[in-house]
Structure 1
Amino acid sequence: MSLPGLRGVLFDKDGTLFGFQQTWAPFAEAVIADLADRGADPGEVAWTLGFDRDRRLYRPDSPVIAETAAEVARLLERFAPDDPPGLAARLDRLAAGIAPVPATDLRAALSPLAAAGLRLGVVTNDSAGAARAHLVRAGVADLFDPVIGYDSGHGGKPDPGPLLAGAAAWGLPPDRIAMVGDSAHDLVAGRAAGMVPVGVLTGPADRAALAPLARAVLPSIADLTDLLEL
């Protein structure tokens, strides 16, 4: 299968640009330590995060994989009931401070797309600030505009709102844009927005979970140049 004729690509961030487990295991450990210092039971925090502390892996049903950062904060509020806003702010700082692990050589994978005139953007259920920090740390922030987070005013995936905001920013029709992601939330959002959904296998979901929702499923974003016939 090939998908020529597209003019823009919106990317999910974690599990798509960055390896999910490698990048976000330190976040879970930092959150567990932070809340344990405030009297929470580490095992209960880990369970709420869907994180296996022994294996340093998230369970497939972990809210961290697909939910917005605000929803993760809401789930953890019972461990800090006297200061929910402070908890959300701490979680955002912890997220922004992690060192993202690229899922592939990002510059090598993305530069041909940009050189071919494709617009590139990021739509993530993380905060926009944390997303920009990760892209800067990975040395690829210059390739993406816009960067849209759950807190950018357009909602979070699987709602199509943030994807449509990306299309509007570019002035492109949705059917000329691919939404590339590693989760069902990404692909459902892409389909709802009228975009071309493309799955990648660099996150927790396998091909069987993504294929029914995607026009194509790729090993990683490194395979996009062939798919787009660039």
Structure 2
Amino acid sequence: MIDGIIFDKDGTLFDFRASWGGWARHLLGDLGRDAAHAREMGAAIGFDVESGVFAPDSPVIAATAADVAACLLPHLPGRSHAGVMDEINARAATATMTPAVPLRPLLSALKARGLRVGLATNDTEAPARAHLAAHDITEFFDFVAGYDSGYGPKPGPGMCAAFAARFGLDPARVAMVGDSRHDLEAGRAAGMRAVAVLTGIAEVAELAPHADVVLADIGALPAWLDGGAAG
């Protein structure tokens, strides 16, 4: 039995490649002196500017804006870490997110089951809320936390544990749904079920050892909740 679901955002609610490739190109283009400089900074954050492909270990995938800014800072003499992070967050808030599946019908169906629904992202909270609002799905979330919300980043369990505590949920009856090892490890550390989806960068071989189930996308959650094999 599951009483609550806490979602990762990027690569889970929203398709990672489709959503963040354009953001990275624009960010690097604006920060860079020229195309070569943009490529150099892209390499520093595991992103190929020409192909739009992220490396599996790119900090953009599962780390925080502070981590991404730290990777870029050595290539931006004279810039401050806070200033670069502010630019990352400002661009993130206006990035165009591509839903992994139609979100309103899915989230409405999950809420109709009586589930508590949360969001735990290593993005900052303000851009996360902006993305939910842009897709008219804020109403479905009982809890929204970013890495700056006071619970720490994933793979630490803070955000997941806070969600369960807020609503008096038994963590064993909560599912953490995400596309990266950070997500699954955060859920496990909080005592939750771990559900992996393949709408991020990581593939089955990387995720399966850390998950109770690997689903193609979050659209398969209702069947999994009903006991189906919707992997």
TM interval, shorter chain, is over 0.9
Encode CA deviations 1:144-181: one digit per residue, 9 max, x unaligned: 12110010011101111111111122221211110000
Residue aligning to 1:218 = 215
SS of equivalent residue, structure 2 residue 92: helix
- Written as runs of structure 1 = structure 2, the 5 A alignment for 1:65-104 is 65-82=61-78, 83-104=80-101
Q: Aligned partners of 1:81 and 1:9: how far apart in 2?
A: 43
Provide runs of 4+ in structure 1 moved above 4 Å.
37-40
Any gaps of 5 or more consecutive residues in structure 2?
none
Counterpart AA for 1:228: L
Encode CA deviations 1:34-83: one digit per residue, 9 max, x unaligned: 21149981121110121112211211111100111111111112233432
- Written as runs of structure 1 = structure 2, the 5 A alignment for 1:44-59 is 44-59=40-55
Residue aligning to 2:29 = 33
Residue aligning to 2:17 = 21
Please identify, of 56-65 and 10-19, the stretch whose mean Cα deviation from structure 2 is larger. 56-65
Please identify, of 37-46 and 78-87, the stretch whose mean Cα deviation from structure 2 is larger. 37-46
Residue aligning to 2:112 = 115
Residue aligning to 1:180 = 177
Q: Aligned partners of 1:200 and 1:36: how far apart in 2?
A: 34
Residue aligning to 1:168 = 165
Q: Aligned partners of 1:163 and 1:109: how far apart in 2?
A: 21
Q: Is contact 1:104-1:221 (8 Å) kept?
A: yes
Percent identity between the two aligned chains = 48
Residue aligning to 2:200 = 203
Please identify, of 180-189 and 80-89, the stretch whose mean Cα deviation from structure 2 is larger. 80-89
Aligned match of 1:229 in 223, 226, 230? 226
RMSD, aligned CA: 1.6
Tell me the number of residue pairs that the alignment of Structure 1 and Structure 2 aligns.
226
Q: Is contact 1:167-1:177 (8 Å) kept?
A: yes
Per chain length, whose mean CA-contact separation is higher, i.e. which structure has more relative contact order (CA < 8 Å, sep 6+)? 1
SS of equivalent residue, structure 2 residue 5: strand
Any gaps of 5 or more consecutive residues in structure 1?
none
Q: Is contact 1:28-1:49 (8 Å) kept?
A: no
- Written as runs of structure 1 = structure 2, the 5 A alignment for 1:120-159 is 120-159=117-156
SS of equivalent residue, structure 2 residue 175: strand
Specify whether residues 227 and 39 from structure 1 end up closer, same or farther in structure 2 by C-alpha distance, changes over 3 A only. Answer: closer
Q: TM-score, normalising length from structure 1?
A: 0.94
Q: Aligned partners of 1:184 and 1:153: how far apart in 2?
A: 21
Aligned match of 2:38 in 38, 42, 46? 42
SS of equivalent residue, structure 1 residue 198: strand
Q: Is contact 2:184-2:210 (8 Å) kept?
A: yes
